């Protein structure tokens, strides 16, 4: 019996040591990743001969946050910082916005849109937008800051609208014998679970307000009648051809055509195209590999992301 206890204690000690090492590696990985990603400026390594057209990539959900074992394709704060740097860049001639996104948070989408608008007005330099596979909802929203909008012939775009999802777990809780108790200061402090009719009207008013903002931005940017824009903005997605016919975009073409047209329109012959891409550190790659090879973790992550996205009644251009 004593022998078994010794083995158990030894295994426990080894487990604690392994977990401690993993914790230290993770913490230092996060610290070093942050330091490495912020080293240097956007001017580093840039070809400065005739200036640059800088490509800003918006891929994936706008504003999504990854775990330590995976990171979103799009890094919101980093992207805003890069646009800030481009405003004062001595080599930058224009921004080419590359969008492959189904949208994202209302706040983050609007913040990126406003930052691009600030760049365009402050520098008086052009912004062109290229839509790849998908540029829907928030992905379309940010393109409204561009002087000219292009879509690939296979692009899906539009989906102009707002969604707010809530997760009602009352039936599940009843089945498994759980009960949620909220101590609140007012009847509408903890909305949902279940959602009352009064709360539904409150949330609907919020959706309607942010939807109106979306409509107004599209109407102004695309020079469309406000009522006409509202008719188009019923949430549906459009093909590139449909979007072109409805004046939701300017041109259909591939990425190379956008570059050629931008250079021709502004006399940028000889100007280099520069991809503004966040460099991934060794620890970013390490955690990404671990995440991809941990099946159970990934399956849990899908469930966690769904719950996180829906439990807080977050307004989404998605």
- Evaluated on CA atoms 130, 219, 205, 184, the torsion sign reads positive
The least confident of 17-31, 64-78, 111-125, 132-146 is 17-31
Average pLDDT, integer, range 211-217:
97
pLDDT at 199 over 60: yes
Average pLDDT, integer, range 5-9:
55
63-99 pLDDT per residue, tens: 865 444 444 578 999 999 999 999 999 999 999 999 9
Per DSSP, the residues of 127-175 read EEEEEEEEEETHHHHHHTTSSEEEE-TT-EEE--S-EE-----HHHHHH
The least confident of 54-68, 247-261, 286-300 is 286-300
More confident residue, 204 or 181: 204
pLDDT at 232 over 90: yes
N-to-C CA span, the chain? 60
**Average pLDDT in the chain:** 81
pLDDT category of residue 314 using cuts at 50, 70 and 90? confident
User: What is the predicted pLDDT for the residue at 289?
Assistant: 46
pLDDT at 293 over 70: no
User: Cα separation of 152 and 254, whole Å?
Assistant: 5
234-281 pLDDT per residue, tens: 999 999 999 999 999 999 999 999 999 999 999 999 999 999 987 655
Strand 156-158 and strand 104-105: pairing?
A: unpaired
Considering the entire predicted model, what is its pTM?
A: 0.77
User: What is the predicted pLDDT for the residue at 189?
Assistant: 77
pLDDT category of residue 296 using cuts at 50, 70 and 90? low
Residues above pLDDT 90, as percent of the chain: 55
The least confident of 39-53, 93-107, 247-261, 298-312 is 298-312
User: What is the predicted pLDDT for the residue at 45?
Assistant: 53
User: What is the predicted pLDDT for the residue at 310?
Assistant: 53
Cis peptide before 194 (omega within 30 of 0): yes
pLDDT category of residue 228 using cuts at 50, 70 and 90? very high
Q: Cα–Cα–Cα angle for 81, 278, 89, nearest 5°? A: 45
Q: How far is residue 18 from each of residues 99, 107, 160, 180, measured CA to CA in Å?
A: 42, 41, 50, 37
More confident residue, 191 or 242: 242
User: Cα separation of 53 and 128, whole Å?
Assistant: 10
User: What is the predicted pLDDT for the residue at 212?
Assistant: 96
pLDDT category of residue 40 using cuts at 50, 70 and 90? very low
pLDDT at 33 over 60: no
Which residues are known to be catalytic?
Answer: 137, 189
pLDDT at 2 over 70: no
């Amino acid at each position: 019996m004593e022998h078994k206890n010794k083995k158990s204690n030894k295994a426990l000690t080894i487990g604690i040591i392994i977990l401690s090492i993993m914790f230290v590696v993770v913490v230092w990985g996060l610290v070093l990743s942050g330091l490495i990603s912020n080293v240097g400026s956007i001017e580093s390594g840039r070809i400065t001969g005739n200036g640059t057209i800088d490509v800003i990539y918006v891929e994936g959900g706008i504003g999504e946050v990854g775990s330590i074992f995976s990171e979103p394709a799009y890094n919101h704060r980093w992207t805003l910082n890069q646009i800030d740097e481009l405003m004062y860049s001595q080599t930058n001639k224009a921004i080419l916005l590359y969008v492959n996104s189904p949208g994202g948070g209302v706040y983050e989408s609007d913040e990126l849109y406003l930052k691009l608008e600030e760049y365009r007005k402050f520098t008086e330099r052009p912004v062109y937008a290229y839509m790849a596979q998908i540029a829907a909802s928030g992905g379309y929203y940010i393109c409204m800051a561009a002087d000219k909008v292009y879509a690939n012939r296979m692009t899906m775009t539009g989906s102009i609208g707002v969604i707010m999802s809530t997760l009602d777990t009352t039936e599940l809780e009843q089945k498994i014998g759980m009960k949620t108790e909220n101590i609140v200061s007012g009847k509408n402090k903890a909305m949902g679970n279940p959602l009352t009719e009064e709360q539904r009207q409150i949330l609907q008013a919020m959706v309607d307000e942010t939807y109106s903002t979306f409509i107004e931005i599209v109407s102004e940017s695309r020079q469309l009648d406000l009522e006409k824009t509202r008719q188009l903005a019923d949430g549906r997605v459009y093909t590139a051809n449909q979007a072109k016919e409805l004046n939701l975009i300017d041109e259909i073409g591939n990425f190379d055509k956008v570059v050629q047209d931008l250079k021709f329109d502004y006399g940028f012959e000889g100007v280099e195209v520069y991809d503004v891409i966040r460099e991934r550190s060794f620890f970013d790659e390490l955690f990404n590999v671990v995440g991809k090879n941990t099946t159970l973790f990934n399956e849990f992550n899908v469930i966690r992301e769904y719950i996180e996205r829906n439990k807080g009644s977050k307004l989404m251009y998605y």
